[in-house]
Structure 1
């Protein structure tokens, strides 16, 4: 049931009729006013005068509430209940679809081709997660919108008691755009570490894994519940976790830059790599890379980039340097 709209013109016409006490149809000279009167009659705000044909009298709006709005609200509640039942049944069918399609195809891989589809499945996995969330994040700092969506989705799992362990590429942790997300996650109990660049990102919610369908472009994701693949990605996370270092809170971070990031930079500088190569290998912007290099040169009292790398190598800060080919 759809109630007619009481727009501003109808509202004002009713007030005019209310002040006058009646409306004579014989006085209506234009189509617009006739249409407004018809709308008020359909809403039950006007009714014919028994003694004077062609005259309309105002009615109490409470009658409209009882005769029009209450049934409309009841209809909305009924439709809402039907939608809720349908949503529940569709979720049951979706669970059955995943189970049977995986058994039929001999695998449990589902390619999620659009950002909207990815977000729907990530949200569902986060809502159902009760154990742990494991992530490896690399290749660029997400946009603020993406971070906010991720925080709203994943932090709810933390609030329900799930454990979260995130390994970020340490060159990304230096970004101020990421600071609020890291602080909020840590405040809710997440464990965060920084490590060297990884081949690809992935996320695990209990027994569901998401990884890029195209690691090069990053477009689309693949979702799987296959036990062998889940265990494989869990092993990958354990490897990266053990090789990474805890990230200190922002108020305890060193004034210079992250130690692992510094070592990676000076290692590449000592090899004579150009700024562009350093920034690309570490996944930071060229401008950010050059700011870090300038800081390193200042701390090491170096007059050139290469000299900074050599000084760092002599001081044992650059680690084992592979021979350039």
Structure 2
């Protein structure tokens, strides 16, 4: 038995002790000394059972005697207040939801005014949010009310396990109500086990994930009407974009990267393909004269892993320098023909 506040293994002892007290009607402390031999349980367990049954209000002590009380009385004494508290909490929650919905409706009524000003040039259509909690709340609100599609770019290899755990139930709920989710990762995300587990779960529900060698930066676009970009000076801040021309450009950039991407898969063949494309892109960046730490950051790799790829490439080409490796690769036509970090064409607004 788990003790006076516990439950579980001692429930059979509790039942036996309770039945004994009921049969004895109002036993005294002296009578309790007979209990262990008559119920067939050790004295220590019986004493703990009596204490717990008193705590549960089914045994009531009056001086030197103990009386059995109806479980209905105990339920009224113990469970009743809790149920009342739950009902009050539910009513408070419903009232708070009503207040929230009314506030949302009042503020949403101002959205057309803001959008009209943005179209006419009276407002920049760009908001700067420096507070992490405000950013998360806005992203949560917009994704929960999304009407058609969410596009996301997630650079840097695999995402933190905690972020994936938080995102999974939300993304599954979106997919199950018909929202299109398209996510771009870097090839290195294929080797991150938590990201693999997340991807398998959402892909099974219809999500679309592709990987590319390099992603220009993090981005979330909701319904092609609102985009979230990282704040350069505040790590957990965001730039919120609603201006139509900027949004059109960002969506075009996403589509170009998406079209260059490879559908997310796991397994040996997919891993080999990813490693080949990673090394091809590293060669291109080496040929452009970038340093190891810069290449690693752009490829979503650790510096150590990046240097390991570079060493393998130089050994494969028999090169004595990074520059020589790049020249040999260019001569063999092995540099990434698609380039890295392409920029969408600028057309008429």
Offset at residue 20 of structure 1 (A): 8.1
SS of residue in 2 equivalent to 1:255:
helix
Distance 1:74 1:198, change over 3 A: same
For residues 164 and 237 of structure 2, the distance between their equivalents in structure 1, rounded to whole angstroms, comes to: 17
Matches within 5 A, 1:74-153: 74-100=84-110, 103=113, 111-139=128-156, 141-153=158-170
1:257–1:208 CA distance, 2 compared to 1 (3 A): same
For 1:265 and 1:195, the matched residues in 2 are separated by 13
Q: What is the CA distance between 1:312 and its match in structure 2?
A: 1.4
1:270-285 → structure 2 map (5 Å cutoff): 270-285=287-302
Paired residues of 1:144 and 1:177 also in contact (CA < 8 A): yes
Alignment RMSD = 4.3
Distance in 2 (CA, whole Å) between partners of 1:94 and 1:296 is 56
Which residue does the alignment assign to 1:61?
A: 71
Match of 1:32 in 2: none
* Distance across 2 between alignment mates of 1:174 and 1:72: 48
Mark the CA change 1:272 to 1:214 in structure 2 (over 3 Å): closer, same or farther: closer
Check 1:72–1:212 CA distance in 2 against 1; reply closer, same or farther (3 A cut).
Answer: same
* Offset of residue 286 of structure 1: 0.8
Deviation (angstroms), 1:162: 1.8
Q: Distance in 1 between matches of 2:300 and 2:240?
A: 25
Residue 143 of structure 1 and its aligned partner are, at CA, apart by 1.1
| TM superposition shift of 1:93 | 0.8
Size of the alignment, in residue pairs? 297
Measure the CA separation in 1 of the matches of 2:152 and 2:265.
Answer: 19
Structure-2 residue corresponding to 1:21: 26
Distance 1:195 1:55, change over 3 A: closer
TM-score (norm 2): 0.66
- Aligned ranges 1:154-233 → 2 under 5 Å: 154-173=171-190, 175=192, 178-195=195-212, 197-207=214-224, 209-215=226-232, 218-223=235-240, 227=244, 229-233=246-250
> What is the SS of the residue equivalent to 2:110?
helix
Is 1:261 the counterpart of 2:278? The answer is yes
Shift of 1:285: 0.9
- Normalising by the residue count of structure 1, what TM-score does the alignment of the two structures yield? 0.70
Q: What is the SS of the residue equivalent to 1:193?
A: strand
* CA deviations over 1:37-83 (Å, ceiling 9, x no partner): 9xx7996964879xxxx988543232232465336414522431331
Unaligned runs of 5+ in 2: 7-13, 30-50, 340-349
1:273 and 1:308 map into 2 onto residues whose CA distance is 13
Higher deviation after alignment, 187-196 or 141-150: 187-196
Cα 1:178–1:265 change in 2 (3 A) is same
Alpha-carbon separation, structure 1, partners of 2:194 and 2:61: 63
Structure 1 segments unaligned to the other structure (5+ residues)? 1-6, 25-36
